[in-house]
Amino acid sequence: MKLATWNVNSLRARADRVEDFLERSDTDVLAIQETKCKDENFPWEVFERLGYAVAHFGFNQWNGVAIASRVGLTDVQRTFPGQPAFGKGGHDPVQEARAISAVVGEDLRVWSLYVPNGRALNDEHMAYKLNWLDALREHIGAELDENPQQKLALVGDWNIAPYDQDVWDIEFFYENEMTHVSAPERERFHAFEEILHDPVRDQHEQAFTYWDYQKLRFPKNEGMRIDFALVSPAVSTGETMIDRDERKGKGPSDHVPVIVEVCS
């Protein structure tokens, strides 16, 4: 089974690119982030035409996550137990569309995750982000404690660069007090590495998955590695790939797909 994750930065704007990617890559399961649409304007026909079943979770033009599968799609879950809501400036907390999961193939539960962006080190979004990650780690840890043989894949845009080589210039990030590389964020990511494995890093030690649209970041290769596919110990994997070519051409997302071969 070929599993891919991709923050498409607006699915409606890039439906043609997603369709081309699915056909070209022969992907079986695609986890999508930042669909930026509701169910009523989701491009269902693109996936139906190619033989994929789809589960989507989106409220408006922000956030939004989905899973498309041509190898089965059952037991869909929108949000995870204990997932924090967010209320800016004291407003009533709202549950955001940032997590969806389903069982694909015979028994692999895939989570498509769009981890909150902290925005700034002292922003209220940062506390939300850290709480969100803590709650997810608690849930996944409890599931694996109960069943160590459970097959899980947590994939998506984590909005964290967990190691110095995961950004184009770590000193630039530190000097400008930027998010994604702070100690609290990295500690949360490393907590997942205690129970999950990153097969992509095994084969691609240093590679970026995101390049900002501004300041010619992509031509200069001034990128970040913030998209990951983490799997539980019971999941056997083969070849992996970071599809850098998807950042090229007309109207690309600022992220590229991360692909993992999951062995039966």
Residue ranges at the known binding site for Mg(2+): 7, 34, 157, 159, 254-255
Both tokens of 173, joined, read 């990030």
Alpha helices in 147-247 (DSSP H): 170-175, 183-193, 199-203
Helix axes 183-193, 124-146, angle to 10 degrees: 10
Residue in 28, 157, 166, 227 annotated catalytic: 157
CA distance 39 to 42: 5
Pairing of strands 2-7, 258-263: antiparallel
Residue in 114, 128, 210, 227 annotated catalytic: 114
Both tokens of 39, joined, read 């169910």
Q: Is 157 a catalytic residue?
A: yes
Torsion angle in degrees (nearest 10) through CA of 129, 131, 137, 143? -130
CA distance 124 to 90: 10
Pairing of strands 99-104, 108-114: antiparallel
Q: Is 139 a catalytic residue?
A: no
Q: Which sign, positive or negative, has the C-alpha torsion 113, 119, 121, 127?
A: negative
- CA-CA distances (angstroms) from residue 232 to 7, 29, 136, 190? 22, 17, 14, 14
- Looking at the annotation, which residues are catalytic? 114, 157, 255
